[in-house]
Amino acid sequence: MKRSNRHHYRIANPFRFFIFVLVCIMVITFAGISIVGAADAEATDIRTYRQVVIQENDNLWNLVERYNPDANINIRDAVYDIYEINDIDADDIQPGDEIFIPVY
């Protein structure tokens, strides 16, 4: 008589097995949601910019207001974005300079 090398496994505690399967499903689900959520977060962070030539009496505050009239934004944050994008300070801008203004 030939013996089979196959092992037959038995679930010793059905409740623990159920909890294990439930936790595995939850981890897989949350990982999938996180991956999809990260892709959505990156997509919403895309901004458009407008290249502007500085005119006499222009300042960063009025440029933000001029190019974002309907946006409900914090102007200080927008001016800080301009500093970061263009690698400048407020004292650095002169008439004739070209800078990028974020459009929200």
Mean pLDDT of the chain: 85
Q: Note the pLDDT of residue 24.
A: 96
Q: Note the pLDDT of residue 45.
A: 58
Report the distance separating Cα 83 and Cα 96, nearest Å. 17
Question: Where along the chain do its domains lie?
Answer: 9-46, 47-103
Q: Note the pLDDT of residue 6.
A: 79
CATH number of 47-103: 3.10.350
The pTM of the full predicted model, rounded to 2 decimals, is 0.54
- The first and second tokens of residue 90, run together, are 């407020």
The values of phi and psi at residue 101, to 5°, are: -115, 125
Q: State pLDDT tens for residues 36-95.
A: 776 665 555 567 899 999 999 888 889 998 988 887 888 898 899 999 999 988 778 899
